């Protein structure tokens, strides 16, 4: 079966993936999928119930509605984006069974329409044959500043930098699907580049591929 086009956007925390992926999907008129939110949702349920994370990942019913993320009928968006959930989702995402449960769900989401899919392993593992792969990076300083502004984070910048570096280390050194650019990924350093401009850079690359989105 011919699948719809997939645009993969990977990279470390705070590189601008979410803002860029959302804007890009809007400009192309296609679906945006945030796989990090799925790992965060597993972390939230784990914190609440303290059960087996693999079973939680297998049974999780996460839905995206516009900007909001739902577990069943509960809007959990705000609960997912806390420093605690950032670290816990990173920790649980290193468990092979958790990834084995979520990856097929991510693949299935691209069965119905073209997608821009954001994460850590989209171009390497989830869709190694993605039509276009981007890997966004930026300096730790810049990423910490973006996080602070995006989440109105009251913590000192140094503390946010420490958290980001710790998460980078954890995500890049895990044995299973570590964070790393795919060999054929286009690497975009977003340090000092306004994110709207990053979107234009990505759009130009996508245009070269002459993809059909409908
Ligand atoms: O993109 P994010 O910061 O919301 O992701 C939270 C954590 O989930 C991240 O630190 C690692 C994990 N993650 C992953 O392992 N694979 C993905 N495709 C997306 C996120």
Atom of ligand 1 nearest to the CA of 106: 18
DSSP conformation class of 189: E
Q: Is 36 in the pocket of ligand 1 (CB under 6 A)?
A: yes
Cα-to-centroid distance, 85 and ligand 1 (Å): 10
- As a whole-number percent, the residues of the chain with pLDDT over 70 amount to 99
Number of Cα atoms under 13 Å in the Cβ half of residue 126: 34
Q: Is 90 in the pocket of ligand 1 (CB under 6 A)?
A: yes
pLDDT at 214: 78
Q: What is the pLDDT of residues 111-141, one digit of tens each?
A: 999 999 999 999 999 999 999 999 999 999 9
Please give the Cα distance from 88 to 40 (Å, whole number).
8
Q: Could you tell me the two tokens for 48?
A: 């609440």
User: Which structural domains are found in the chain, ordered by start?
Assistant: 6-207 (3.40.50.300)
**Residue 42 scores a pLDDT above 90:** yes
* Residue showing tokens 């719809």: 4
- The residue whose CA is least distant from atom 6 of ligand 1 is 36
Please give the Cα distance from 180 to 123 (Å, whole number).
9
**Residue 30 scores a pLDDT above 70:** yes
**DSSP H or E run through 137:** strand 132-137
pLDDT at 213: 87
Q: Could you tell me the two tokens for 49?
A: 């119930």
Please give the Cα distance from 133 to 33 (Å, whole number).
15
pLDDT at 186: 98
Rg (CA), the chain: 16
Please give the Cα distance from 149 to 147 (Å, whole number).
5
Q: Is 40 in the pocket of ligand 1 (CB under 6 A)?
A: yes
**Residue 2 scores a pLDDT above 80:** no
- As a whole-number percent, the residues of the chain with pLDDT over 90 amount to 90
**Residue 55 scores a pLDDT above 90:** yes
- The residue whose CA is least distant from atom 5 of ligand 1 is 36
Atom of ligand 1 nearest to the CA of 86: 6
**Residue 1 scores a pLDDT above 80:** no
Atom of ligand 1 nearest to the CA of 121: 18
Cα-to-centroid distance, 194 and ligand 1 (Å): 23
- Are the beta carbons of 16 and 188 closer than 8 angstroms? no
Q: Is 167 in the pocket of ligand 1 (CB under 6 A)?
A: yes
Confidence of residue 3 (pLDDT cuts 50, 70, 90): confident
Q: Could you tell me the two tokens for 12?
A: 């470390």
Q: Is 89 in the pocket of ligand 1 (CB under 6 A)?
A: yes
* Section 162-166 average pLDDT: 94
Q: What is the pLDDT of residues 17-28, one digit of tens each?
A: 999 999 999 999
């Amino acid at each position: 079966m011919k699948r719809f086009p997939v645009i993969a956007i990977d990279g470390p925390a705070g590189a601008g993936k979410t803002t860029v992926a959302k804007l890009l999907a809007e400009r192309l008129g296609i679906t945006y999928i945030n796989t990090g939110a799925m790992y965060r949702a597993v972390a939230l349920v784990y914190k609440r119930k303290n059960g087996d994370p693999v079973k939680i990942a297998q049974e999780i019913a996460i839905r995206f509605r516009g900007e909001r993320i739902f577990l069943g009928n509960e809007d959990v968006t705000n609960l997912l984006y806390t420093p605690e959930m950032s670290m816990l989702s990173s920790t649980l995402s290193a468990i092979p069974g958790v990834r084995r449960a979520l990856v097929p769900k991510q693949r299935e989401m691209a069965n119905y329409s073209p997608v821009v899919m954001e994460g850590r392993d989209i171009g390497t593992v989830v869709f190694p044959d993605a039509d276009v792969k981007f890997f966004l990076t930026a300096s730790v300083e810049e990423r910490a500043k973006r996080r602070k502004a995006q989440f109105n984070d009251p913590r000192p910048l140094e503390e946010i930098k420490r958290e980001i570096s710790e998460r980078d280390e954890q995500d890049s050194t895990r044995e299973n699907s570590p964070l790393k650019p795919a060999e054929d990924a286009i690497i975009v350093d977003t340090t000092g580049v306004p994110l709207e401009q990053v979107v234009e850079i990505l759009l130009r690359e996508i245009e070269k591929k002459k993809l059909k989105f409908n």
